[in-house]
Structure 1
Amino acid sequence: MGRHIGPVCRLCRREGIKLFLKGSRCDSPKCAVERRDGPPGQQQYRRGKPSEYSIRLREKQKVKRYYGVFERQFRRYYEMASRRPGNTGDLLMALLERRLDNVVTHLGFAVSRPSARQLVRHGHILINGRKTDIPSYLVKPGDVIKIKEREGSQNLVAGALSMEGMPPVPDWLDRTSTEPAEGRVSRLPTIQDVSLPVTPQLIVELLSR
């Protein structure tokens, strides 16, 4: 699957919030969202009030860009959530939270989700002792996420773990060790564990049309 290779700060400006696509840089004075008010492009401001469709579309785009998934994959997550009992919007966000690249980021092994995705793709991650190179792998309670003990793999995450200002590990995860880097999934995430300010119900209303 392809990836966005343009300036990622434009994505944050378009959504009007920090998507933390560059990790700790987003908390620095270099953050484009704080330096430039308004969406990117020559025509930054539009007249009139956004339509109901536009409001719902922006919520969906915000989530897609935050977790780094494209439309077809996002639709599959929605279908999985809609087939399960419970609130579809909450279940959708919980499924996205369980992605391996998101978990690696939350554990502090990478400074951003794009960096975590690369770490997984290159085979540096072990799940329950077995190499897993699929960023979309959905973790389960009891799964142990570990960085390979070879020196090269450990050096890749050492810098991320030593950085100041990294957000704390969420309650549903447990970082059991830093040398070697290791973490564990203690429970399934819920909508309360999602840090992204989003209204899942608006996404459900858009996709259920």
Structure 2
Amino acid sequence: MARYTGANCKLCRRENMKLFLKGERCYKDKCAFERKEYAPGQHGKMHKKLSDYGVQLREKQKAKRIYGVLESQFRRYFEKASSVEGITGEILLQFLERRLDNVVYRAGFASSRKEARQMVKHEHFTVNGKKVSIPSFLVKSGMVVEVKEKSRNHARIIESLDTAVGRGIPEWITLDKQNFKAEINRLPERTDIAYDIQESLIVELYSK
């Protein structure tokens, strides 16, 4: 599947917020967003008033970039969320949070979602004891995500776990750091997602 291969820091500057796409670098002074808090490009410092459509589009782009999904996949999540009883925007975010690559990142096994996606593809993890190499796999309550035995000395996983507490582990995930396990104790709720995403605007955009 095609993926964005450009500069990650430009995405943060475009959305005017840290998306934490480069792992530990985002927490340091080297972060480009800290040094250039304006949009990239020749006219980045100009302040343009967005139309209602432009505001809605920016919210959608922000969510897509945070979770690292492309338009077609993001739209499928929206259509699936629309068919489920409940608040569509919150269900959409719940689907994105339940992705295996996001769980690997949120549990502290990787320092960014991009790194987590690569690790999942390289078969470093199991779910309920079974090998899963699909980043978009949706976890369910009660499932256990575990680092494979032969991958537990992986330098990036160890380094990420050492700084995981500082980044914060969400309440819906119980991390057993010593045994390289993360249990999904419940499905994520809207209050578990700290990102400044106005999901109602995304629903309005797709509902036109």
TM-score using structure 2 length: 0.95
How far residue 39 of structure 1 moved from its aligned partner, in angstroms, is: 0.3
For this pair of structures, how many residues does the alignment match? Answer: 208
Partners of 2:164 and 2:92 lie apart in 1 by 31
CA–CA distance in 1 between the matches of 2:48 and 2:181? 51
Counterpart in 2 of 1:19? Answer: 19
Task: Please give the alpha-carbon distance, in whole angstroms, between the structure 1 residues aligned to 2:189 and 2:164.
Answer: 27
Q: Distance in 2 between matches of 1:29 and 1:10?
A: 16
Partner of 1:203: 202
Deviation, 1:24, is 1.7
Q: Which amino acid aligns with 1:180?
A: N
**1:47 shift after superposition:** 5.4
Letter of the 1:206 partner, please give it. Answer: L
Structure 2 unpaired stretches of 5+: none
The match for 1:59 is 59
* C-alpha contact (below 8 Å) 1:175/1:183 kept by paired residues: yes
Deviation digits for residues 124-145 of structure 1, max 9, x if unmatched? 0100000000000000001000
Q: % of aligned pairs identical?
A: 47
Q: Distance in 2 between matches of 1:89 and 1:163?
A: 31
Q: Which runs of 4+ in 1 moved over 6 A?
A: none
Q: Give the secondary-structure state (helix, strand or coil) at the position aligned to 1:150.
A: helix
- Report Cα offsets for 1:63-108 as digits up to 9, x if no partner: 0000000000000000010001111001101110100010001110
Once the two structures are TM-superposed, the CA of residue 122 in structure 1 deviates from its matched residue by 0.2
The residue aligned with 1:190 is 189
Cα contact 1:105–1:111 (8 A) shared by 2: yes
CA distance in 1, matches of 2:121, 2:31: 27
Report if the CA contact (8 A) 2:14-2:38 is conserved: yes
**What corresponds to 2:98 in structure 1?**
98
RMSD in angstroms over aligned alpha carbons? 1.5
Shift of 1:153: 5.5
Residue 8 (str. 1) matches residue 5 (str. 2) = no
Matched AA of 1:196: Y
Matches of 1:51 and 1:137, distance apart in 2: 36
Residue 113 of structure 2 corresponds to: 113
In structure 2, what residue type is equivalent to 1:205? E
